[in-house]
């Protein structure tokens, strides 16, 4: 009888303890200092300025000045818009006695397109910090004007971008073609271009 009473008391205490711990365990979620979605900076796109070098078939190479904008359309896709100003030739181009390309004539390009990021990684330039980078394929379609004539512009290229918190730098390479009849007759309507860009986000 003496052993039965302690056993009953121990059983009663155990049942009482189990009854007190029937609540569902709900741990507090830690957000590393972020109190809500308002603390996240939302980026809708990016803009940038670039200097390029354009090689043209049967025409001297030259500098291009580019203003580009990008609108993020998803995790990997973005829309493109670009204006490009490029001096065509320092000297006039003649076809017999006819001047087919005036001296110091310029090219103006307004193009739209789409980009797709197919590779991402991290790059370190001095061993202490690393920056994310992405490699994307880009397709352009637009209108190129040389003053006296114009034509449809198409281009296909790749773009490598290094991303910082507030800024980005990039390098791009593309091959292009224009159906400008005047340039086509001279064999000057296609070539390749590379450019360096720097910009920020909005």
pLDDT in tens, 157-182: 999 999 988 899 999 999 999 998 87
**CA dist 47 to 53, 71, 93, 170, 202, Å?**
20, 9, 36, 11, 8
| Structure tokens that stand for 175 in this block | 């091959």
State pLDDT tens for residues 85-110. 988 765 556 555 565 666 667 889 99
Sign (positive or negative) of CA dihedral 110, 113, 118, 121: positive
Gap between the Cα atoms of 64 and 90, Å rounded: 14
Backbone angles phi, psi at 35, to 5 degrees: -90, -15
Q: What is the DSSP string of 80-145?
A: EEEEEEEE--SS-EEETTEEEE-TT-EEEEEEEEEEEEEEEEEEESSSS-EEEEEEEEEEEEEEEE
- The answer to whether 167 and 190 are in contact (CB under 8 A) is no
The CATH T-level fold of domain 55-201 is: Porin (2.40.160)
Task: Say what the pLDDT of residue 85 is.
Answer: 95
Task: List per-residue pLDDT tens for the chain, 202 residues long.
Answer: 555 555 556 666 665 655 555 556 555 555 544 455 555 567 889 999 999 998 876 667 789 999 999 999 988 999 999 999 988 765 556 555 565 666 667 889 999 999 999 999 988 877 778 889 999 999 999 999 887 788 999 999 999 999 988 899 999 999 999 998 877 777 778 889 999 999 999 8
Gap between the Cα atoms of 47 and 168, Å rounded: 9
Gap between the Cα atoms of 63 and 56, Å rounded: 11
Domain ranges of the chain: 55-201
Residue whose structure tokens are 């829309």: 79
């Amino acid at each position: 009888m003496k052993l039965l009473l302690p056993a009953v008391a121990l059983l009663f205490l155990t049942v009482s303890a189990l009854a007190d711990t029937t609540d569902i365990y709900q741990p507090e979620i830690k957000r590393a200092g972020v109190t809500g979605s308002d603390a996240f900076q939302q980026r809708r796109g990016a803009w940038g300025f670039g200097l390029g070098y354009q090689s043209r078939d049967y025409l001297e190479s030259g500098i291009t000045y580019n203003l580009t904008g990008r609108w993020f359309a998803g995790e990997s896709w973005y829309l493109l818009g670009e204006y490009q100003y490029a001096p065509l030739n320092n000297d006039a181009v003649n076809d017999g006695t006819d001047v087919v390309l005036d001296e110091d004539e310029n090219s103006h390009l307004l193009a739209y397109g789409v980009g797709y990021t197919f590779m991402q990684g991290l790059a370190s330039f001095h061993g202490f910090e690393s920056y994310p980078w992405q490699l994307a394929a880009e397709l352009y379609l637009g209108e190129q004007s040389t003053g006296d004539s114009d034509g449809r512009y198409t281009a296909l290229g790749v773009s490598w971008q290094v991303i910082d918190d507030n800024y980005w730098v990039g390098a791009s390479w593309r091959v292009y073609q224009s159906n400008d009849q005047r340039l086509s007759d001279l064999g000057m309507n296609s070539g390749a271009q590379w450019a360096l860009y720097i910009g920020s986000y909005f």
